[in-house]
Amino acid sequence: MLANGKIIKINSDTFTVKVNEEIFETKSRGKFRNLKIKPLVGDNVLINKDDKVIEEVLPRDNYLLRPLVANIDIALIVTSITEPNINLALLDKLISIITINKIEPVIIWTKLDLVNKDELKEIKKLSKYYESIGIRNFTNEKFKKIKKYLSKKVVTVCGQTGAGKSSLINKFNKNLNLATDTISDALGRGKHTTRIVELFNIDNFYIVDTPGFSSIDIGEYSKEEIKNSFIEFRDITCKYNDCMHIKESGCEVIKLVNNNKILQSRYANYLSFIKELK
Ligand SMILES: Nc1nc2c(ncn2[C@@H]2O[C@H](COP(=O)(O)OP(=O)(O)OP(=O)(O)O)[C@@H](O)[C@H]2O)c(=O)[nH]1
Ligand SMILES: [Mg+2]
Ligand SMILES: [Zn+2]
């Protein structure tokens, strides 16, 4: 018998599919490999309940490659201030990729308890800037507020290894008890604690825990896409319509950067992303 469900977990070649409140451990059909379709966590699928196979992957609203998830409303970019060190290039890159894929980025700052007042002030400034361009910011201490914001959404976490993604999800629901770990090796690079991508239902929203990473590739995107993903550039009119805001004369973006109206680090990251494109 055929039924509609959602993939909530993938562990090597086993796809866990939730059909209403029932769980099925299924395999994927060989035909997907030929069609170059890889079923993802978050995918809505048609399964054969008797054979326990996925018959069809239904059309996606969107998907991300890192983390590998589909049909997402909100991506929480979990950003630690320290341990691992704050990485604004990774943050801005994730904002761009998430925005290009028509998902809402939300910043979650973590490990505020580990830094001094001056560093906290810097984070407040950053947070204010990102809010001013329309991106919601929360600290992980405000998990009740975050929970409220996620109401009725399908959410993924993303960000550096050891930033506190699983810890945050545990705060949402203590019964989950997801594995978390401290930064282990001398280089300060965390070991991956989360290995499997898995979707959890918490109250009235869904959230995916995913393994962290330290870098991400944007080579597949176009210059235009990257430019448009910098939300604060969108309403600025330069002398030339197709201005890339790099070194053109009469560029209003560059003026705003020089006047500190656009965050210097954002603009520097923009230039480096454009250079990174193929
Ligand atoms: N002091 C402090 N420690 C935190 C905070 N958030 C998380 N941690 C700790 O940071 C370590 C890493 O947290 P995890 O939740 O495992 O990080 P993760 O992002 O899930 O890491 P991966 O799954 O490996 O990508 C754990 O020891 C947590 O207890 C925080 O706000 N403050
Ligand atoms: Mg984790
Ligand atoms: Zn310009």
Ligand 1 pocket: which of 82, 114, 181 to mutate (most atoms <8 Å of CB)? 181
Smallest CA-to-CA distance from 270 within 247, 252, 241, 245 is with 245
pLDDT digits (tens, 9 = 90+) for 38-89: 899 999 999 999 999 999 999 999 999 889 999 999 999 999 999 999 999 9
Q: Three-state secondary structure along the chain?
A: CEEEEEEEEEECCEEEEEECCEEEEEEECHHHHHCCCCCCECCEEEEECCCCEEEEECCCCCEECCCCEECCCEEEEEEECCCCCCCHHHHHHHHHHHHHCCCEEEEEEECHHHCCHHHHHHHHHHHHHHHHCCCEEEEHHHHHHHHHHCCCCEEEEECCCCCCHHHHHHHHCCCCCCCCCCCCCCCCCCCCCCCCCEEEEECCEEEEECCCCCCCCCCCCCHHHHHHHCHHHCCCCCCCCCCCCCCCCCCHHHHHHHCCCCCHHHHHHHHHHHHHCC
CATH of 64-209, one of 3.40.190.100, 3.20.19.10, 3.40.50.300, 3.40.640.10: 3.40.50.300
pLDDT digits (tens, 9 = 90+) for 142-181: 999 999 999 999 999 999 999 999 999 999 998 998 989 7
- Name residue 28's beta-bridge partners: 54
CA angle 115–116–117, rounded 5-degree value: 130
Distance of CA 165 from the midpoint of ligand 1 (Å)? 7
pTM for this entry: 0.94
The Cα-based distances of 35 to 39, 56, 57, 194, 264 in angstroms read 11, 11, 11, 29, 44
| Token digits of residue 90 | 């990774």
Residue range(s) in the chain whose domain bears CATH number 2.40.50.140: 2-59
Return the pLDDT at 187: 47
Residue with tokens 């308890």: 113
What is the CATH T-level fold of the domain 2-59, as seen in this structure?
OB fold (Dihydrolipoamide Acetyltransferase, E2P) (2.40.50)
pLDDT digits (tens, 9 = 90+) for 190-205: 567 788 899 999 999 9
Q: Residue 229 and residue 174: Cα distance in Å, rounded?
A: 36
Which CATH code fits 223-276?
A: 1.10.40.50
For the chain, the average pLDDT equals 93
pLDDT at 246 over 90: yes
Ligand 1 pocket: which of 78, 85, 176, 180 to mutate (most atoms <8 Å of CB)? 180
CA quadruple 9, 10, 11, 17: dihedral positive or negative?
positive
Residue range(s) in the chain whose domain bears CATH number 3.40.50.300: 64-209
Q: Which atom of ligand 1 is nearest to the CA of 194?
A: 23
Residue with tokens 């080579």: 219
Spell out which residues line ligand 1, taking CB within 6 angstroms.
Answer: 78, 110-111, 113-114, 140, 161-167, 180-182, 190, 192-194, 211-212
The Cα-based distances of 15 to 22, 127, 236 in angstroms read 14, 38, 46
Residue range(s) in the chain whose domain bears CATH number 1.10.40.50: 223-276
The protein residue whose alpha carbon is closest to atom 30 in ligand 1 is 111
Smallest CA-to-CA distance from 108 within 151, 50, 149 is with 149
| Percent of the chain residues past pLDDT 90, beyond the cut | 83
Distance of CA 235 from the midpoint of ligand 3 (Å)? 11
